[in-house]
Amino acid sequence: MLYLALALVLIAILYARTFTFKNLIDDKVRMGDYLYSVPLTAPDPEFYMSKPALSLRVWAITVHMLSTWLVYLLLGGKAALLFAIYPVAVNNVAWITGSYYSTTAFLTLVSYYFITHTPWWLGLPLGATFFAVALNTTVAAISFPFVFLFGNPLGLVTLVSLAGFLTGKRFKTGLAIRVKMGDVTNKLPDRLEPRKLALAVKVVAWYLYIAFVPYRMCFFHRWGHFFLSDKKEHDELLAFNAHFWASAGLIGAWIALGAATGMLFWAMWFLVLMSAFCQFKSLGQFVAERYMYPASVGFIAIAALLPEPVYWVLVGAYLVRTFLFMPVFQNNKEMYSNGVRMDSTEASNYLNLGDWYITCERDYSLAGYNFGQVVKYDPKDYKPHNNMGSIFSMMGLHELAVKELKIARQKVVGWTSDHFIGIIDRHLAQEERLADAQREPAGQV
């Protein structure tokens, strides 16, 4: 009980800072709109300068406390303490949208608890019900029923909940939107084929590595960014090469560790839940740490078995990393600046940081530098040129604005291309009129 008390006190102390943090990225999308809504434009800059509703912040912290309590009931005090201060969880507690995934984990843990710790006539229907609710928060636990292939087979009743979700409106709508996005933006096919096994193993191993070493965490990662747009990267990721065998070795060692410690079920918990994001079908970010929260329970279950001296060293390391990582989520500027530090070749970090400078600080010099880095690392992207057009327009350099907007117009492509082509065309026409006016001789009417 002392471990649980310490865990909850540390959560309260560590995450008290988040009450001053601002809205981030897609915090405008509420949990009820999950899968239904894909915003085409960002909110007004004022949104990112404001704080989320107090109730949302309280919920993010509370749900982490509740999940920690369930980990305590399922795995004991040592596991609860590690889970409470686990650095990966910062992605889900310090960021409002990230808390949608921790909500999924909480409801999934409730489902598991009822299935495994109450009489079957009560636990099975309650477990299936709570899992059905979990599926409607995020898809982070969509593969949960399959963990019961490795223990407690009565839990396979949750397949009924999964079937209901897969045939329901929310999933069908979200899938249709994302398939449409991929059909137009992807230059390379995203087929289910034997080579996808190589990719899946590499992706799951990446998550396992981050679980062990939660250091180089950021919102956008370069790895896999061009999987469906660059043939060389596409073929490398699908290849049964040295990267594949190293990844398979890491996963094999993890399974062996689970078996040797009598925790094979929890080792498979991590692998099965992360398999939902193994890119067997590319429908979202290639990799993202916020997806790891539900699966991390399996990792923590085994980490908690460390002998006392090593265990407390790990507790100390987690405390330091969590404390230092948390300020990354205080606003978008810090989040994308961290991305540049952690993954300096990922264009999306520079693009979004440039957007911050242009919209929130009106620092055209730093915005221009970051858009230049986007062109360097992702030369096919139209957005830095479109944004540079806006910068030149605000500076009164309309001929340069026209030049950048024409480049953007040539590069724009994607499922929203008609939408953005229309915006660019209207802006371009306006800048061409202003450029013509600047070129008129003095005194000419």
pLDDT band at 189 (very low <50, low <70, confident <90, very high): confident
pTM beyond 0.75: the answer is yes
Give 147-166 pLDDT, tens digit per residue: 999 999 999 999 999 999 99
pLDDT band at 89 (very low <50, low <70, confident <90, very high): very high
List Cα–Cα distances, 117 to 76, 107, 133, in angstroms: 14, 15, 19
Phi-psi region of 37 (alpha: psi -120 to 50; beta: other; left: phi over 0): beta
- Tell me: pLDDT of 348 over 80: yes
List Cα–Cα distances, 25 to 22, 45, 358, in angstroms: 10, 11, 16
Model pLDDT, residue 445: 44
Q: Residue ranges of the domains in the chain?
A: 2-332, 344-439
Picking from 51-60, 124-133, 429-438, which range would have the lowest pLDDT averaged per residue? 429-438
Give 303-316 pLDDT, tens digit per residue: 999 999 999 999 99
Q: Which DSSP category does 412 fall into? A: -
Query: How far is 376 from 172, CA to CA, in rounded Å?
Result: 38
Query: How far is 218 from 131, CA to CA, in rounded Å?
Result: 29
pLDDT band at 185 (very low <50, low <70, confident <90, very high): low
Other Cβ atoms within 10 Å of 333 Cβ, number: 16
pLDDT band at 55 (very low <50, low <70, confident <90, very high): very high
- Proportion of the chain in helix, strand, coil states, percent, rounded to 5: 70, 0, 30
Closest CA to 135 of 300, 294, 299, 298: 294
If you compute the radius of gyration of the chain from its CA atoms, what whole number of angstroms results?
24
Mean pLDDT of 4-13: 98
Superfamily of domain 344-439: Tetratricopeptide repeat domain (1.25.40.10)
Q: Which DSSP category does 53 fall into? A: P
- Tell me: pLDDT of 36 over 70: no
Give 190-202 pLDDT, tens digit per residue: 888 999 999 999 9
Mean pLDDT of 228-237: 94
Q: Which DSSP category does 230 fall into? A: -
Neighbouring C-alpha atoms within 13 Å toward the C-beta of 187: 11
Mean pLDDT of 210-236: 95
